Chains A and B, each alone.
Chain A
Amino acid sequence: MPDPGFWTLQALNALQLSMLLFLLSIGLTVIFGLMHFVNLAHGSLYAVGAYVAASAAAVGGYWAGFFLAPVAVAGLGILLYSGLIRRMRRSGPMAQVLVTFGLIFALLDLSRLIWGDLALSIELPALLAGRTALLGIEYPTYRLFIIGLGLAIIAALAFVLGRTQIGAMIRAGVDNDAMAACLGINVERLFFIVFCVGCALAGLAGAVAAPLLSVTPDMGLQILIPTLIVIVIGGLGSLKGAVAGSLIYGFVQTFGAVLAPQLASVLIYALLAAVLVIKPVGLFPAKG
């Protein structure tokens, strides 16, 4: 049996994967909770973020990409919102599935046209390269950085959603947007802000993932299903759900790979099915 260090290492791996998924799923789940909009193209925005980061990093180093990618993807989000999504709001989920499916197709090929088919990657700055001694093991500093970044964003979002006026407005909107509008909240502007922040977080997730994984045109499609699983297990629209879903996914995936490699790829789907049978709306839905 491997030593305790092995399990610490795996726990950190699981946590790191969870945090990456959290960055993606929080945007998707709040957009869905607030706007009832199924944005299947969320994964494609993440891929665009990774590509923008890779291009920017090639010129101005890692941090240029890290800061530019969320801004660029938020910009793309503004375009999508004003061009497509605002008009789609009342079209019902089926039309939304179709339009975001169309976006997946279009963004996939646009990335291929701009950045080619070859895998890209980003070199890490000296500060984040290398390893850090922690809990008796050596762990890659960059993975610790991802864990730290994820925790910081959870804390920041918990603060904004729980303690600020805009957070209260968002919660009111998730609960009942018509009622919120009656209370004088500019729901339309709220939607816009939330959508842009969600896109920026997807871009950030792309920029953060790029040095770890390879940047390929299909990375958006690859991450889509895990992200959807996270938000459905957690329950739609809630921060708590996104955190719980990410942690469950990260730990099941990581420890499944170690303890039951034969079942690794089936395990998470079995869990999803089990959760939905027992709690048909996920563990912590925003609305009972």
Chain B
Amino acid sequence: MNRKTLAALGLAIGLAMPAAAEEITVGLMLPFSGVYAALGNDIEAGFALGLETFGDRTDATFTIIREDTEASPPVALGKARKLIMQDRADVLTGIVSSAVLGAVRDIVHSSGVPLIVANAGNDEATGEACSPFITRMSFSNGQVNRPMGRWMAEQGIGKVFTLAPDYAAGRQMIGAFADSFTEAGGEIVGQAFTPFGKTQDFGPYLAEARASGADAVYVFYAGGEAVSFVRQYDSFGMKDALPLYGSGFLTSALYVDAQGEAAQDVVTALHYVPTIDNPENDAFVAAFREKTGRVPSEYAVHGYDAARALVEASATGAADRAALADALRQVSFEGPRGALSIDPATNNIVQPIYVYRTIAGETGMTQEVLAQTPAEADPVNGCDMAPLIN
């Protein structure tokens, strides 16, 4: 969907409303080219669907300005400055890469433009670098992985080998898991971090994992690396002796079909899977399927919920930057992921985490939810948040 259609959509919603409605300019910053393009497209599809579904709850109309961040921090920073200084955007949303979020954080904070984060999960953004203007509707790296440490220890798994790409998000995801796993009595017998974006053959690391004497392997990979990793893990026949666990991005609904049967029985944890059983999710999956022909992924739900948060915030009557930022911090609703709210101490989302097993379904791979861990707020992590204005 391009800018014109989105604008037309905003217009259509606007026409149905009484005149004199507020007009809110939204800067949608997503990677539409580069390695994360598939994620950007899914988030955008979710965002458009969210506006379409919930748009009539507010009198405001939304003008969307779409910018391609290319998942490159300097490019994204340039685009963010343009949206803020020139287009006078009232609110920004999107951001897939954590590095991009780190890059735009200062300009967002200093110019006081609310930003709804629709993917990037770096812990600092809602920790030491938190801002009253940055509200995260997606997840944080620690939040997704922490429950899995406890859950795996409860299942009687004693020794684990971990693997992840060697960059900030990889280290944070694995770090959060390792902390909670060792706290619950487990032992990390070995760790390997693979060069990020340059590793295509995981064979050497898999042999290392096998020789480590672990009971299980816990990994974080996403996108193309996740597809390669899961397939190679299966081809070495390691799943029987050394079951594969991980952060749920490993077997995301977005690309699990490319992994095929290699993903069978991999157990991971995530804040959203398409098979969560609640009426909001049923409606979301059906509507998303109808629009795109695909099952929505966690990325799609980030966009969907970001749009809904924006609508809910503007429905309170907020229309300028400061008021919107304030309203966004108080958003809470029942969505496809269950009950969501924003932690006033950090502005991070508070949401349940689902442990799920990937299994073969009627049309490709699907997810069987094994457990739902209760929603809990992240530790404050050095965030010193300004209190709410109202």
Contacts and interface: CB of A to CB of B under 8 A. Distances in A.
Contact of B204 (A10, A131, A138, A212): A10
B13 interface: no
A245 to B, nearest CB: 17
Contacts of B333: none
A13 B225 CA distance: 18
Nearest to B192: A261
Contact of B259 (A9, A117, A121, A143): A121
A266 to B, nearest CB: 9
Interface in A120-162: 120-121, 123, 129-131, 138, 140, 142-143
Taking each of A9, A119, A219, A261, which has the highest tally of chain B beta carbons within 10 Å of its own beta carbon? Answer: A119
A190 interface: no
Contact of A13 (B194, B201, B231): B201
A131 B211 CA distance: 18
Contacts of B41: 117
Contacts of B224: 119, 213-214, 216, 218-219
Interface string A1-42: 011001001100100110000000000000000000000000
A211 interface: yes
Contacts of B223: 119, 216
Nearest to B38: A117
Contact of B258 (A121, A138, A261): A121
A142 B262 CA distance: 14
Nearest to A128: B235
Given A121-B231, A265-B195, A6 B207 contact: yes
Contacts of A6: 207, 210-211
A264 interface: yes
B204 A13 contact: yes
A89 B235 CA distance: 44
A117 B37 contact: yes
A123 B364 CA distance: 13
Interface string A221-265: 011000000000000000000000000000001110110010011
B35 A123 contact: no
A286 to B, nearest CB: 29
Given A118-B255, A121-B227, A216-B224, A254 B203 contact: yes
B208 interface: yes
A212 B38 contact: no
Interface string B180-206: 000000000000111101101101110
A28 B222 CA distance: 31
A112 interface: yes
Contacts of A3: 211
Contacts of A117: 37-38, 41
B228 A17 contact: no
A213 B194 contact: no
B243 interface: no
Given A3-B211, A117-B38, A212 B194 contact: no
Given A131-B237, A216-B224, A17 B201 contact: yes
B207 A9 contact: yes
B175 interface: no
B195 A213 contact: no
B198 A265 contact: yes
Contacts of B208: 2, 258
Interface in A174-231: 211-219, 222-223
Nearest to B227: A214
A93 interface: no
Contacts of A257: 194, 204-205
A130 B237 CA distance: 8
A178 B195 CA distance: 45
Contact of A222 (B38, B200, B255): B200
A116 interface: yes
Across chains A and B, which 8 residue pairs bring their CB atoms closest together, nearest first?
Answer: A214-B227, A13-B203, A117-B38, A2-B211, A117-B37, A265-B195, A216-B224, A140-B235
Given A6-B207, A140-B236, A143-B203, 15 more contacts: A10-B207, A13-B207, A112-B37, A118-B255, A120-B258, A121-B231, A140-B237, A143-B235, A213-B228, A215-B258, A218-B224, A223-B200, A255-B204, A264-B195, A265-B198
27 contacts: A2-B208, A2-B211, A3-B211, A6-B211, A9-B203, A16-B201, A17-B201, A116-B38, A118-B38, A120-B258, A121-B231, A121-B260, A129-B235, A140-B236, A143-B203, A212-B231, A212-B235, A213-B224, A213-B227, A216-B223, A218-B224, A222-B197, A253-B201, A254-B201, A258-B204, A258-B208, A264-B195
